[in-house]
Structure 1
Amino acid sequence: MRPDPKHPAPFPLPCNPPMSRARFLRLTAATMAGFALGTPTAAARVGSAPSAALLTRPIPATGEPLPVIGCGTYIGFDVARDSAEHQRLPGVLQALFDAGGSVIDSSPMYGRAEAVTGELLAAAGSHGKAFLATKVWTRGRAEGIRQMEESLRRLQVERLDLMQIHNLVDWQTHLATLRDWKAAGRVRYLGVTHYTAGAYDALEAVMRAEALDFVQINYSADEREAERRILPLAAERGMAVIINRPFGGGGLLRRLRARPLPPWAAEIGATSWAQVLLKFVLSHPAVTCAIPGTSRPEHMADNALAGTGEIPEPTFWARHSVDAS
């Protein structure tokens, strides 16, 4: 459904007042200064442990620090309980938590992923370590409520950290419900998602018309369309940004893995191509967290290292291009 920018907000709550241009420019300038010094920015340091630990950035709506690397569950967590893949998943979550991470993102669209995630967290007693995000992906108020109730049951929680409207499906209906749920304390944050630049016109209209806590989008070294309008608008409107395709949509990481790391990777403390690509994403000051998906503990640990140490300034990538064509 394409949103109508003229349609009034169902519940015009001023929970996230628009950020002024002057404030946005001041925050951006401060972030760039931190990058230029080669140290974590003020945003990255909020609530974070020593420099070797995973950096955090604040959720604009509240200032709550969020670790900059999380874990997506698409494909990797949609596995049978008696499979070899399932046996590796406790190690994935442990690697995330050991690194100081917390964000785990799922969806009813991901098959068994929500249920598997909930079972693993319950078995390890780790619900308290997780920032749990999932989505509503259906049409109609009653069906949306039913699906969200089922997500709570599968994830084995009474309240979610973040509920998102998946790919803007019936977004006006679900946004009204989510505002009710947020007021009742059933969700802490609400947002919308998409995974393709072809939806950015519709996404931009929603972002301009509505007060949202989070936006989840695709952004990578080979999918940079979000830089034009979506990322600056998120910063202006005070919305946290989760990146759901940090390794690109065309097998970018698979192609790069066949090549040796360039010498300049050492300048930013990257020891793998995955870390290079994640540091690229985190270089944009509007990005709050990236959620690469994996079902392997060693990959989760490697991904988390991208959120430690130096995050390069954006101009670094003008001098050092990531090109796997």
Structure 2
Amino acid sequence: MPEITSPSEMLYRTLGSTGETVSAIGLGGWHLSLERVDEPLALRIVRSAIDRGITFMDNSWDYNGGLSEMRMGKALRDGYRDKVFLMTKIDGRSKQEATRQLDESLQRLQVDCIDLVQHHEIIRYEDPYRVFDEAGAHAALVEAKEAGKLRYIGFTGHKAPQIHLHMLEVAAQQGFKFDAVQMPLNVMDAHYQSFAKLVVPELVKQNIGILGMKSLANGVLLRSNTATPIECLHYALNLPTSVVITGIDSLEILDQALEAVRTFQPMNEEQVRSLLAKTATAGASGKFEPFKTSSIYDGTAQNPDWLGEEPERIQELMLA
């Protein structure tokens, strides 16, 4: 991934074929509304991150009932909006539901345009078909882009690399290329249902922006006692990622993320092999990646109404 040097604490990279310059570390939005994070702290985290060079802001319509977007919207007042590349995600699969969720996100974030909007939780093989149905969410995002409500379109998922590849195939059949794709990229991923091995090469080939998430999996990876937080972040930064999105719920964790960037040097093959050797046994079963092996991270499974109605043509086929 081409790197752009800067005198600040941050490293900058290019987001795929968009030509946009983004910080190599992104601030995860979910953590901004955890019980231990009150609003003043959330605003301080966001603004401190921006002041120290982080420009990529991650969020989602469904994070903490919308509170994460609302807090980020408040933090981006007073000129901070112009300093960031703002991303959020919507869960709706129908055009109607996607439109509603996007409009809510715009209001919560207090902006007229979001830089990147992503189809969230593409975790089922049927999701691509629902998104790209003529009455699906993709039509809503294309219309919103034409109306100036968003600039780029991507998708996310955490379940299986094969589903990501399927989404790319269905998009290609529709003549569409995504601007960015988000997925788990961490020291355990290499050993089980690996996005790094199966999806990243295809994204590099198509020059699509690669967004890594769950580099620490909210601390779950660290319970394996096989790698340090800095090692986990270095591994994700060493992949051809445009951005490594990490949850930041304190100023100390912000310091940790920035320290990872400051100390990062491209790893050679031997260094990568050595790190992955330490995590091989722990990573082999998917135990430390519960977002792949369980449904506890699947917000749309617990809240199917977020998806909206199935396309009528699918219902007709089922009833025929």
TM range (shorter): 0.7 to 0.9
Deviates more, 1:312-321 or 1:108-117: 312-321
- Alignment partner for residue 72 of structure 2, among 75, 99, 117? 117
In the alignment, is the contact (CA less than 8 A) between 2:94 and 2:131 conserved in 1?
Answer: no
Report the 3-state secondary structure (helix = DSSP H, G, I; strand = E; otherwise coil) of the residue aligned with 1:57: strand
Amino acid at match of 1:201: Q
- Say if 1:77 and 1:249 are closer, same or farther in 2 by CA, change over 3 A: closer
Letter in 1 for 2:164: L
Query: What is the alpha-carbon distance in structure 2 between the residues aligned to residue 306 and residue 56 of structure 1?
Result: 14
- Of residues 32, 36, 49, the one that matches 1:96 is 49
Q: Does 1:218 align with 2:174?
A: no
Q: Secondary structure at the match of 2:154?
A: strand
Match of 1:230 in 2: 199
Give 2:259's aligned residue. Answer: 305
What does 1:53-202 correspond to in 2, within 5 Å? 53-74=9-30, 76-79=31-34, 85-110=38-63, 111=65, 112-122=67-77, 124-168=78-122, 169=127, 170-172=130-132, 173-197=136-160, 200-202=161-163
1:151 corresponds to which letter in structure 2?
Answer: S
Matched, 1:294 2:248: yes
What is the SS of the residue equivalent to 1:310? coil
Unaligned runs of 5+ in 2: 283-320
Q: 1:96·1:301 contact (CA, 8 Å) conserved in 2?
A: no
Offset at residue 283 of structure 1 (A): 0.8
The structural deviation recorded for 1:309 is 4.6
Deviation of 1:148 after TM superposition, in Å, equals: 0.3
Q: Identical aligned pairs, as a percentage?
A: 25
* Residues 71 and 294, structure 1, Cα contact 8 Å, conserved in 2: yes
Structure 1 contact 77–89 (Cα < 8 Å) conserved: yes
d(CA) in 2 for partners of 1:108, 1:250: 23
Deviation at residue 88 of structure 1 after TM alignment: 1.6
Change (3 A) 1:247 1:79: closer
CA distance in 2, matches of 1:297, 1:310: 20
> Across the two proteins, how many residue pairs are aligned to each other?
260
1:150 is displaced (CA, Å) by: 0.6
Cα deviation digits, residues 95-153 of structure 1 (max 9, x gap): 3113211111111221211112112222x541112211111112321121111001000
SS in 1 for 2:248: coil
Shift of 1:280: 0.3
Native 8 Å contact 2:89 2:120 kept in 1? yes
Partner of 1:207: 168
Structure 1: gaps spanning 5 or more residues: 1-30, 32-42, 262-272
Alignment match, 1:247? 216
- Looking at structure 2, the residues matched to 295 and 248 of structure 1 have their Cα atoms a distance apart, in angstroms, of 13
Q: Is the 8 A contact 1:71 1:104 kept in 2?
A: yes
- TM-score, normalised via structure 1 length: 0.73
Aligned-partner Cα distance in 1 for 2:181–2:205: 13
Contact 1:214 1:242 in 2 (8 A): yes
Tell me the secondary structure at the aligned position of residue 44 of structure 2.
helix
- More relative contact order, 1 or 2 (CA 8 Å, 6+ apart): 1
Counterpart amino acid of residue 171 in structure 1: V
Relative distance call for 1:250 and 1:97 in structure 2 (3 A) is: closer
SS of residue matched to 1:178: helix
Q: Is the 8 A contact 1:223 1:248 kept in 2?
A: no
What is the Cα deviation at residue 254 of structure 1? 4.3
Aligned-partner Cα distance in 2 for 1:302–1:202: 33
In 2, the alpha carbon distance for the partners of 1:250 and 1:296 equals 14
